[in-house]
Amino acid sequence: MRLVGPNGEQVGIVRIEDALRLAQEADLDLVEVAATARPPVCKLMDFGKYKYETAQKARESRRNQSNTVIKEMKLRPKIDPHDYETKKGHVVRFLRAGDKVKITIMFRGREQSRPELGFRLLQRLAEDVSELGFVESSPRQDGRNMIMVLGPHKKKSEARVDVEAEKAKKQAEREAEQQAERAERAEQVQAHEAERAAGSTKKPKGPADNLDPE
């Protein structure tokens, strides 16, 4: 076999017995890394450490992978202002989380003869969320519907970091408010106890106190 050392150095072609002896002396494992090569290639390594590091890299790769999800939001051409703001809020939340959003305008009856209503609505929505996303797929007619796809400016992994940072910030603010409230209550209790202590040490006035000493 062709033997490779633990640091990648070429040991050369050796017998299996010699390779096993070298592995034992170095307290390492003899691992076959290229079985189809002629001769086969083996390497001296700490196989347990190798498996651990490989698993760690795989986990890190999955963590940083951009798992893009396409959300969908449906609107009507003549949507009222309150509903529009609610739907826009959902789109903002999706984009902030790093997800794409498919916007569908649903036309019914006579509305199908007014596609410009849907187009203007999609343009308005795209402008309203332009800080978080961009038009990845321009508005297009699809039967009775008009469709547009918005893409997030930030990748999924970056958006996740921002969301976690925002959560941590809000948690810290809540804890600071709670600590301030506890400190204020403690001060009030301390002041109340001080008032009670001062009242108890004051000598009550009796009848003899009103007599003229002369």
Residue 148's CB is within 10 A of a number of other CB atoms, namely: 22
Q: Tell whether 214 is covered by a domain.
A: no
3-state SS class at 135: strand
Q: Mean per-residue pLDDT for 68-75?
A: 86
**Closest-CA residue to 116 (of 148, 143, 138, 139):** 139
Same domain, 78 and 125: yes
On the CB side of 65, how many CA atoms lie within 13 Å of its CA?
9
Cα 87 versus chain centre, distance: 22
Residues 138 and 181 both lie in one domain: no
With 70 as the cut, is the pLDDT of residue 212 above it?
no
User: Is-above-0.85 flag for pTM?
Assistant: no
Which string of DSSP letters, residue by residue, matches 75-94?
E-TT--HHHHHHHHHHHHHH
Say if residue 146's pLDDT is above 90: yes
Residue 9 region by backbone torsions, left for phi larger than 0, else alpha for psi between -120 and 50, else beta: beta
Same domain, 84 and 148: yes
pLDDT in tens, 156-207: 666 666 666 677 777 777 777 787 777 788 888 888 887 887 776 555 555 5
Closest listed residue to residue 154, CA positions, set 129, 137, 172: 129
- Region 84-96 average pLDDT: 94
What's the CATH code of the domain at 20? 3.10.20.80
Residue 74's region, left for phi above 0, alpha for psi from -120 to 50, else beta, is beta
Other Cβ atoms within 10 Å of 94 Cβ, number: 23
Do 75 and 84 touch, CB atoms closer than 8 A?
yes
More confident residue, 123 or 209: 123
What domain range is 177 assigned to? 157-196
167 with 149, same domain: the answer is: no
Per-residue pLDDT, 65: 56
Tell me: do 48 and 9 sit in the same domain.
Answer: yes
Q: What percent of the chain has pLDDT over 70?
A: 84
The number of residues in the chain equals: 214
- The total of structural domains in the chain comes to 3
Which pLDDT score, from 0 to 100, does residue 192 have?
Answer: 80
Any idea what the CATH number is for the domain that residue 138 is in?
Answer: 3.30.110.10
pLDDT tens digits, residue range 100-144? Answer: 999 999 998 888 888 999 999 999 999 999 999 999 999 999 889
Q: Are residues 78 and 110 in the same domain?
A: yes
- pLDDT tens-digit readout, 7-47: 888 888 999 899 999 999 989 999 988 888 888 999 999 98
Q: Which residues contact 93 (CB under 8 A, 6 or more apart)?
A: none
89 belongs to a structural domain: yes
What is the pLDDT, as a whole number, of residue 203?
55
Whether residues 163 and 180 fall in one domain: yes
Residue 35: predicted pLDDT = 84
- My answer on whether 85 and 127 are in the same domain is yes
Non-local (6+) Cβ contacts of 22 within 8 A are 3, 11, 14, 44
